[in-house]
């Protein structure tokens, strides 16, 4: 039983390994992204996706896949090519905290 708990704890800790992004640093690194994805990740054009409010884990995987070539997009591959792992985490943290089209709005009661 203890082995099972230890294995489960290890799995949980590795699934949150990408939670170290700094949104303040990400905002500073996001200037090139605004050309296509708009200020704060809200795209001015339907040709480019809105990334504001997207899950950080999704953005991390997407950028890593552009770097590796698993996602084929020449523009994004070029943009992601020189990003460090920390850059990716910072950008993901920044965009994840932005209000997006699908970000639920909770009312305080």
pLDDT digits (tens, 9 = 90+) for 58-76: 999 999 999 999 999 999 9
Taking the C-alpha atoms of residue 22 and residue 88, their distance in angstroms, rounded to an integer, is 10
CATH number at residue 72: 1.10.760.10
Residue 31: inside a domain? yes
- pTM for the whole thing? 0.76
pLDDT score of 1: 55
Q: How confident is the model at residue 12 (pLDDT cuts 50, 70, 90)?
A: very low
Residue 27: inside a domain? yes
Domains identified in the chain, total number:
1
Residue 69: inside a domain? yes
Residue 33: which of 67, 79, 101 has the closest Cα? 79
pLDDT in tens, 26-58: 999 999 999 999 989 999 999 999 999 999 999
Residue 9: inside a domain? no
Q: List the domain range (segments joined by +) for residue 70.
A: 19-96
Residue 26: inside a domain? yes
Residue 4: inside a domain? no
Residue 109: inside a domain? no
Residue 14: inside a domain? no
Taking the C-alpha atoms of residue 69 and residue 64, their distance in angstroms, rounded to an integer, is 9
Q: How confident is the model at residue 101 (pLDDT cuts 50, 70, 90)?
A: confident
């Amino acid at each position: 039983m203890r082995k099972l708990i230890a294995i489960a704890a290890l799995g949980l800790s590795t699934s949150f390994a990408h939670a170290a992004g700094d949104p303040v640093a990400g905002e500073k690194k996001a200037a090139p992204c605004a050309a296509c994805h708009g200020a704060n990740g809200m795209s001015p054009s339907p040709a480019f996706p809105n990334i504001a409010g997207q899950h950080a884990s999704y953005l991390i995987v997407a950028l890593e896949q552009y770097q590796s070539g698993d996602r084929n997009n020449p523009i994004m591959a070029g943009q992601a090519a020189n990003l460090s792992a920390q850059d990716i985490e910072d950008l993901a943290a920044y965009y994840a905290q932005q209000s997006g089209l699908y970000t639920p709005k909770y009312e305080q009661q």
